[in-house]
């Protein structure tokens, strides 16, 4: 029997945190993972770490706001693999402090920088890789969002995020969710599925050490959406198997109340 062809995944912002753990978990499932990192040296150090766990991994210099980096990554993956099965748009940034309301204080420059990375770069990266994803037998796109993208929960007094309004970050992730819905519709007649993931409040540089979740659990939603079966959902917004905000809020509001995501 012929050996099944290994799937190829590209993960942006993958040299640390949730991106690195997503790479580790996908790699342990037999996926070849390509770690996108702004600093190639850090990416290669992360690859060395993954290889100790038996993961088939390589690093590429990949600043998501750099058009030259995006094209170079496309060219490399096309030349070496000819296909991309999984794209995890994990890279993200925020200039705002957790908590409070920055709507009237955030600068235009910070707004633009945040949207450039969290929204526009995702569109540019995805469009660049769509021809390779279309060659996959089961292309999967995972856009890493946040519960802070939920307008429903932001507008609901008493919700776990009601008093946590980082305007630039939150609105960039809301826009990202809109992109997920629209892209999923545009690709509905293909084998590609597109979904948004809320990892949870995770101990990372962005989430801080105050977060209740470790990266191992934070990566699970991304990995699940990256490996959906043919009958899996598309155009959704998920955390650990639950659809946001809906039932997730009902089930977990007691635990999360007062916390920031």
> Two tokens at 21?
């753990």
Q: Other CB atoms closer than 10 Å to residue 81's CB: what's the count?
A: 18
pLDDT tens per residue, range 154-204: 998 988 889 999 999 999 999 999 999 999 999 999 999 999 999 876 545
Q: Is residue 261 part of a domain?
A: no
Catalytic residues, by residue number, are: 169, 173
H helices present in the chain, as ranges: 17-28, 40-52, 67-80, 108-115, 121-133, 151-154, 167-186, 215-218, 220-226, 246-256
Domains held by the chain: number: 1
The arithmetic mean of pLDDT across residues 20-33, rounded, is 97
What pLDDT band is residue 206 in, cutting at 50, 70 and 90? low
- pLDDT of 247 > 70? The answer is no
**Rounded to whole angstroms, how far apart are CA atoms 253 and 19?**
26
**Rounded to whole angstroms, how far apart are CA atoms 137 and 154?**
38
Question: What's the CATH code of the domain at 153?
Answer: 3.40.50.720
**Rounded to whole angstroms, how far apart are CA atoms 133 and 130?**
5
Q: Is residue 2 part of a domain?
A: no
Q: Which residues of 118-135 are buried (b: 16+ CB within 10 A; e: fewer)?
A: bbbbbebbbeebbebbee
The arithmetic mean of pLDDT across residues 48-67, rounded, is 97
Residue 97 has what pLDDT? 85
Average pLDDT, the chain: 89
Q: Is residue 1 part of a domain?
A: no
What pLDDT band is residue 205 in, cutting at 50, 70 and 90? low
pLDDT tens per residue, range 62-86: 999 999 999 999 999 999 999 999 9
- How far from the centroid of its chain's Cα atoms is residue 186's Cα? 20
Q: Give the residue numbers spanning the domain of 39.
A: 8-256
Residue 203 has what pLDDT? 46
């Amino acid at each position: 029997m012929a050996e099944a062809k290994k799937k190829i995944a590209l993960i942006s912002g993958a040299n640390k945190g949730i991106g690195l753990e997503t790479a580790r978990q996908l790699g342990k499932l037999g996926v070849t993972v390509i770690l996108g990192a702004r600093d190639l040296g850090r990416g290669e150090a992360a690859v060395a770490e993954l290889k100790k766990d038996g993961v088939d991994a390589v690093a590429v210099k990949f600043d998501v706001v750099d058009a030259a980096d995006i094209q170079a990554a496309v060219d490399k993956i096309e030349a070496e693999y000819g296909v991309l099965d999984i794209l995890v748009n994990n890279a993200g940034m925020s200039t705002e402090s957790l908590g409070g309301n920055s709507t009237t204080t955030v600068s235009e420059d910070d707004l633009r920088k945040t949207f450039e990375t969290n929204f526009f770069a995702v569109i540019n990266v995805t469009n660049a890789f769509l021809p390779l994803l279309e060659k996959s037998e089961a292309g999967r796109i995972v856009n890493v969002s946040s519960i802070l993208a939920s307008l429903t929960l932001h507008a609901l007094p008493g919700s776990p995020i009601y008093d946590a309004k980082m305007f630039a970050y939150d609105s960039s992730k809301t826009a990202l969710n809109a992109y997920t819905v629209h892209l999923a519709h545009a690709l509905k007649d293909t084998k590609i599925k597109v979904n948004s993931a809320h990892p949870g409040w995770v101990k990372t540089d962005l989430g801080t050490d105050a977060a209740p979740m470790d990266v191992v659990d934070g990566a699970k939603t991304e990995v699940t959406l990256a490996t959906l079966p043919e009958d899996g959902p598309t155009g959704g917004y998920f955390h650990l198997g639950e659809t946001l905000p809906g039932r997730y809020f009902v089930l977990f509001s007691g635990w999360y109340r007062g916390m920031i995501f």
